[in-house]
Structure 1
Amino acid sequence: MKTLPRHLTPDIWLQQVFTSTEARKGGVVKRKIRDVERLVGRHAFLHEVERRGFQAVENHQHYVVFCNTLPLRRAKP
């Protein structure tokens, strides 16, 4: 496992995720669960998602965060 740079704190990492261009446009960001747990922890990450009014889903190895407050509907044929 790679060592993190000293300047990359959990707060900075969260800020980078949620101020990314895609997040600011109300889009979708995806992060590997192992990275979230290693860098900030599941609880802190999901708390920040909720604090911003966003929603996240977990699938296989990823969290997918919908960076808007619109309702989610599962697509079915």
Structure 2
Amino acid sequence: MCKAGGMKDMPLPISPDRWLGHLFASRAAASGGVVRRSTRDIERIVGRERFLAELDRRGFRAVENAGQIIVFCNRDAVRILR
């Protein structure tokens, strides 16, 4: 049952460490591809600062648009074409 504050007061379904582990162990991430996650989930489960620190540690880039964050799981340059 939810508290009066809604979903933000509910306990997390997964620990931040485990969530990050799952994300970066995914087939797409492990092969240097891209992964997409909702900004809301990142902020709720891991926190933006910790997530960005993990990207920095790995040398990855990311872009954000329309409530989604797309992570390029490699060290190649990212260009916005249009």
Fold match, TM over 0.5? Answer: yes
Bigger proportion of residues as helix: 2
Unpaired runs of 5+ in structure 2?
1-6
Among 14, 18, 24, the alignment partner of 1:12 is: 18
Secondary structure at the aligned position of 2:71 is classed as: strand
**C-alpha RMSD of the superposition:** 1.3
Unpaired runs of 5+ in structure 1?
none
- For residues 3 and 36 of structure 1, the distance between their equivalents in structure 2, rounded to whole angstroms, comes to 15
Cα deviation, residue 4, structure 1:
3.3
Cα deviation, residue 66, structure 1:
0.2
Correspondence 1:52-71 to 2 at 5 A: 52-71=58-77
* Counterpart AA for 1:42: R
TM-score, scaled to structure 1: 0.88
TM-score, scaled to structure 2: 0.83
Among 34, 37, 40, the alignment partner of 2:40 is: 34
Secondary structure at the aligned position of 1:36 is classed as: helix
Which has the larger Rg?
Answer: 2
Between the aligned residues of both structures, percent identity stands at 51
